[in-house]
Amino acid sequence: MLTLNKTDLIPASFILNGVPGLEDTQLWISFPFCSMYVVAMVGNCGLLYLIHYEDALHKPMYYFLAMLSFTDLVMCSSTIPKALCIFWFHLKDIGFDECLVQMFFIHTFTGMESGVLMLMALDRYVAICYPLHYSTILTNPVIAKAGTATFLRGVLLIIPFTFLTKRLPYCRGNILPHTYCDHMSVAKLSCGNIKVNAIYGLMVALLIGGFDILCITVSYTMILRAVVSLSSADARQKAFNTCTAHICAIVFSYTPAFFSFFSHRFGEHIIPPSCHIIVANIYLLLPPTMNPIVYGVKTKQIRDCVIRILSGSKDTKSYSM
**Tens of each residue's pLDDT in the chain, 321 residues:** 444 555 568 899 999 999 988 888 999 999 999 999 999 999 999 999 999 999 999 999 999 999 999 999 999 999 999 999 999 999 999 999 999 999 999 999 999 999 999 999 999 999 999 999 999 999 999 999 999 999 999 999 999 999 999 999 998 889 999 999 999 999 999 999 999 999 999 999 999 999 999 999 999 999 999 999 888 888 888 888 889 999 999 999 999 988 887 776 666 678 888 998 999 999 999 999 999 999 999 999 999 998 888 887 655 444 443
pLDDT of residue 271: 83
pLDDT of residue 313: 66
pLDDT of residue 265: 67
pLDDT of residue 297: 92
Q: Partners of 94 in the beta sheet?
A: 14
Options 2.60.40.1120, 1.10.8.100, 1.20.1070.10, 2.30.130.60; CATH for 13-304 is: 1.20.1070.10
pLDDT of residue 320: 40
pLDDT of residue 238: 85
Distance from C-alpha of 35 to C-alpha of 28, rounded to nearest angstrom? 12
* Contact status, residue 16 vs residue 94, Cβ threshold 8 Å: yes
